[in-house]
Structures are given as C-alpha cells and as structure tokens.
C-alpha cells in the first residue's frame, strides 16, 4: 500500500507559471497578480504572456490555491504550470541572496529555458 510522502515544515517550494491574457489586459493583470501573497511577475510580453512565480516559505501550503486564484483573476485567459521545485532546507541554507533578493530555487526558474521561451515565442 502506498502512503503519502512525508510533509516537512522545512520545505521551500516554488512554481513557475505562464499566464495568458489579452494583450490589452497584460498590465492590469500583472498589477492584480502581484497583490497575491507569494506571487511575483518576472516578465510580460506584448502578446499578453506573463512569466510568474509562486513561492511558499517553509511551513506554508498554498501554491495550488494560488494558481487557482491566478486562473480566476479578472483578465486571465488561462495559466499553465511549467516548473515546480521543492527543496528541503536545513540550518546551513540561506534563502536570502543579497545580490538579487531571490532564492536559489527561483533563480533556477527565471534563468531556465522555460523562462526564455517567452522571448523565443515572440521571434516566431
């Protein structure tokens, strides 16, 4: 019999989401999304695509709910989960990166090919 994986209060999670809007709604949608706790908008293109991360600090569990809120935000056509990662933190881990203020996990997403696909789609 399978059991659910053990949940750890020391697990940090981040999800990368591409959000689709109508081009004329992209800026207002970006403004609405950053009001949601744990949500950060990293890129917006002229076609109405937004690259967004949703972060959970250790002990929190809201990523799925937050993605549902993103989908239900006025002006959003749909959103797609394109990246998800969790990491077990220990006392030697430092979430605060002084150079950018971003965690190492979030950096993995924002510099990954997934994030750069936003630009490559514009070139087609």
pLDDT at 102: 46
Q: Which CATH number fits domain 12-89+100-122: 3.30.70.920, 3.30.420.40, 3.40.50.2000, 2.60.40.1530?
A: 3.30.70.920
pLDDT at 4: 45
DSSP 47-115: TSEEEEEEEE-TT---HHHHHHHHHTSTTEEEEEEEEEEEEE--TT-----TTTS--HHHHHHHTSHHH
Residue 1's pLDDT band, with cuts at 50, 70 and 90, is low
Q: What is the mean pLDDT of the segment spanning 118-123?
A: 54
Task: Supply the pTM of this predicted model.
Answer: 0.68
CA 54 to chain centre: 3
In the predicted structure, residue 121 carries a pLDDT above the cut 70: no
pLDDT, one tens digit per residue, over 31-87 is 999 999 999 999 999 999 999 999 988 777 889 999 999 999 999 999 999 999 988
pLDDT, one tens digit per residue, over 85-117 is 988 766 554 545 444 434 555 555 554 545 555
């Amino acid at each position: 019999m399978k059991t659910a994986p053990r949940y750890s209060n020391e697990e940090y999670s981040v999800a990368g989401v591409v959000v689709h809007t109508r081009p004329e709604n992209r800026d207002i949608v970006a403004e609405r999304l950053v009001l949601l706790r744990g949500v950060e908008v990293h890129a917006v293109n002229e076609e109405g695509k937004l690259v967004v991360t949703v972060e959970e600090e250790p002990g929190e569990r809201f990523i799925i709910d937050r993605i549902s809120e993103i989908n239900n935000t006025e002006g959003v056509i749909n959103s797609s989960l394109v990246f998800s990662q969790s990491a077990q933190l220990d006392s030697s881990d430092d979430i605060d990166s002084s150079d950018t203020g971003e965690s190492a996990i979030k950096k993995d997403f924002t510099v990954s090919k997934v994030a750069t696909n936003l630009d490559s789609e514009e070139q087609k």
